[in-house]
Amino acid sequence: MEIGITGVDPTTFPEMAAWHWHIALYLFLGGLVAGIMIISAVLRLRRSPGFDRGLRIAEISAVPLACVGLFALFLDLGNGWNAWRFFATFQVTSAMSWGSWILLFAMIVLVVRATIHTQDLTFRSGWWTRPLDLLSRIGRILGRKSRAIDYSAIVLGIALGAYTGILLSTIPARPLWDSMALAPLFLVSGLTVGGAFICLFLEREPHLRLVPLIVTLCAVELALIAGFMATLLMGPAPLQAAGELLLGGRYALGLWGGVVVLGLLVPVSIEIAEVARRKVPPLLSSIAPYLKMSGGLVLRFVIVYAGVASVL
Amino acid sequence: MARYGMAIDVARCQGCQACLVACKTENEVPLGKFRLRMREEVVGTFPDLYGEFRMEQCFHCENAPCVPVCPTGATFQTDDGLVLTNPSRCTGCKACVVACPYDMRHVNPGGWVDKCTFCDHRIAEGRQPACVVTCPTGSRFFGDLDNPSSDVSIAIASATQVDVLKPHTGAKPKLFYLESKLINQADHDDPATVLSEFAGGK
């Protein structure tokens, strides 16, 4: 059978107009920031010693990371100057509307937490440090409520991390996204990459104490990827066709090579070897967190692009 | 309240695309953009061929998947069942583009998401959509689906074969295809069966 279609534009080829790298990057950074929020808040509430420096850097870094994600989203909008419309209404049936408000509150908590942790910073005196001194003073005031703010960071972090998956899974027209596993997968992946980001700034000893948690998260992420594939391959024909895109299609290398092997199995093996006091080359040891973060990024790209390409 | 819908008689459609051009002119659709598209399906091996032209546009679904995903309420459904987009509220986030199972939405160069409106401005004046009045073979029928004496209801009632695209999505599209031998047929991939039906005048 031959099929001819007239009109080379996004109406004919929807991949020309649908979501691209902006959304994948936005979902990745959203998950990363959510992971940083949750893990850092839990560690602070537990008053775990040895984490303070790493957590402070991660919490302050989370603000520009979230801003980059929002900028990517802004670039994706066809009519960016109408972005304020997201906050002029609340559409209860729209996951994106929920996400807009969650993101707004998460940003407030991110900025508050970053401000709290600037109180420990010392600056050379000069006219240019006055705003930073003021920030430190505000941080000291906000710091009195730090436990309540940490609890709110956990709640908003979970909401933000899950939202990055729910945004896709509430769109039934794309069978690849039609899976209940997507929200927990993106949440756990956010925790994995958030943990990896925090580890970049930790000393060796606290890093090793965090490894059991990170290995558990990676194992759960692998199980969720398996569950996600199972829901596709055991579903109706359109879902099976979507699953084939990931199983042996053009996105298979990205998922299995980039996410599962390089992004999860290899870095987890390195970290387990470190905990077991095996000799691990310093280079391998230092790239493990980067591999996990790359895996998280590739996961979003694979799911977004393969999802747009899948049709009912 | 009316419940507007459209039907296209596939057996009458010659694929001239006058409807597509009329739509572009009537709605000032920008250069390089289209609210309609033509799909041409051909089965068989030369010289034993059977083909159909199928014009596709927004299906103004009853359970329109594009409406609930819109974060600003820019995409909405009127009491008459038309699915419309308010450009001044649209952020161009494209949630509706990916939510449409028929891929019938695109981003206008102005940044907002565009699609067929069933010429709602003409309906308001009591006129038919531009594509309907332009069709030289009279293959398009429009009107109130709840009114048995409307053009579209009569056309559907007198057709021997009525189909909608992708019925399994549950979207309940309100654009119907009449007398098609290729849409939603179990033997869709079996040209021999289609050709034998065609030869038999079924």
CATH of the domain at B24: 3.30.70.20
**B79 is a domain residue:** no
For residues A31-39, give the mean pLDDT: 97
Residue-wise pLDDT tens digits, B3-61:
999 999 999 999 999 999 999 999 999 887 889 988 888 888 888 888 899 999 999 99
pLDDT computed for residue A306 by the predictor = 93
**A265 is a domain residue:** yes
Asked whether residue A157 carries a pLDDT value surpassing 50, the answer given is yes
pLDDT computed for residue A138 by the predictor = 77
Domain that holds residue A94: 14-309
B7: which strand partners?
B141, B176
A7 and B41 within 8 Å at the Cβ level: the answer is no
Residue of higher predicted confidence among B9 and A128: B9
* Tokens encoding A171: 């769109």
B166 and A12 within 8 Å at the Cβ level: the answer is no
CB distance A185 to A165 below 8 Å: yes
**CA of B152, closest CA in chain A: separation in Å?**
25
* Tokens encoding B74: 């820019």
**A4 is a domain residue:** no
| Residues near A302 by beta carbon (within 8 Å), at least 6 away in sequence | A246, A251, A254, A255, A258, A259
Residue of A nearest to B64 (CA): A173
**B178 is a domain residue:** yes
pLDDT computed for residue A185 by the predictor = 97
For residues A111-140, give the mean pLDDT: 73
Asked whether residue A299 carries a pLDDT value surpassing 80, the answer given is yes
Enumerate the residues of chain A whose CB falls inside 8 A of the CB of residue B70.
Answer: 91, 94
**B69 is a domain residue:** no
- CA–CA gap between residue B95 and residue A166 (Å, rounded): 13
ipTM: 0.85
3-state helix/strand/coil string of A237-302? HHHHHHHHHHHCCCCHHHHHHHHHHHHHHHHHHHHHHHHCCCCCCHHHHHHHHHHHHHHHHHHHHH
CA dihedral A297, A300, A302, A305 (to 10 degrees): -130
**B27 is a domain residue:** yes
CB distance A217 to A273 below 8 Å: no
CB distance B75 to B94 below 8 Å: no
Enumerate the residues of chain B whose CB falls inside 8 A of the CB of residue A86.
Answer: 71-72, 91
CATH of the domain at A82: 1.20.1630.10
pLDDT computed for residue A5 by the predictor = 65
Alpha-carbon distances of A28 from A243, A275, B25, rounded to whole Å: 21, 28, 42
**A56 is a domain residue:** yes
**B30 is a domain residue:** yes
H or E, element range at A6: strand A2-6
Give every residue of chain B whose pLDDT is below 70, as ranges: 185-202
CB of B162 less than 8 A from some CB of A: no
Q: Is the peptide bond before A49 cis (omega within 30 degrees of 0)?
A: no
Enumerate the residues of chain A whose CB falls inside 8 A of the CB of residue B98.
Answer: 14, 18-19, 171, 173-174, 307-308
pLDDT computed for residue B192 by the predictor = 52
Count: domains in chain A:
1
Domain that holds residue B186: 4-63+117-199
CA nearest neighbour of A64 among A34, A94, A95, A29: A29
Asked whether residue A1 carries a pLDDT value surpassing 60, the answer given is no
Asked whether residue A291 carries a pLDDT value surpassing 90, the answer given is yes
pLDDT computed for residue B184 by the predictor = 74
B93 and A172 within 8 Å at the Cβ level: the answer is no
Sign of the CA dihedral with B156 first, then B160, B163, and B168 last:
positive
Residue of higher predicted confidence among B88 and A13: B88
Mean pLDDT score across all residues of chain A = 89
Q: Which residue type sits at A7?
A: G
**B168 is a domain residue:** yes
CA nearest neighbour of A287 among A307, A271, A311: A271
Count: domains in chain B:
1
pLDDT computed for residue A22 by the predictor = 94
- CA–CA gap between residue A289 and residue A191 (Å, rounded): 12
For residues A187-193, give the mean pLDDT: 97
B176: which strand partners?
B7
pLDDT computed for residue A267 by the predictor = 94
Residue-wise pLDDT tens digits, A81-110:
999 999 999 999 999 999 999 999 999 999
- A258 pLDDT band (50/70/90 cuts)? very high
- CA–CA gap between residue A188 and residue A194 (Å, rounded): 10
**A43 is a domain residue:** yes
Asked whether residue A36 carries a pLDDT value surpassing 70, the answer given is yes
CB of B73 less than 8 A from some CB of A: yes
A78 and B95 within 8 Å at the Cβ level: the answer is no
Enumerate the residues of chain A whose CB falls inside 8 A of the CB of residue B68.
Answer: 91, 93-94
In total, the C-beta contacts within 8 angstroms joining chain A to chain B are 155
A18 and B94 within 8 Å at the Cβ level: the answer is yes
pLDDT computed for residue A120 by the predictor = 65
A82 and B91 within 8 Å at the Cβ level: the answer is yes
| Residues near A134 by beta carbon (within 8 Å), at least 6 away in sequence | none
Residue of A nearest to B168 (CA): A312
pLDDT computed for residue B155 by the predictor = 93
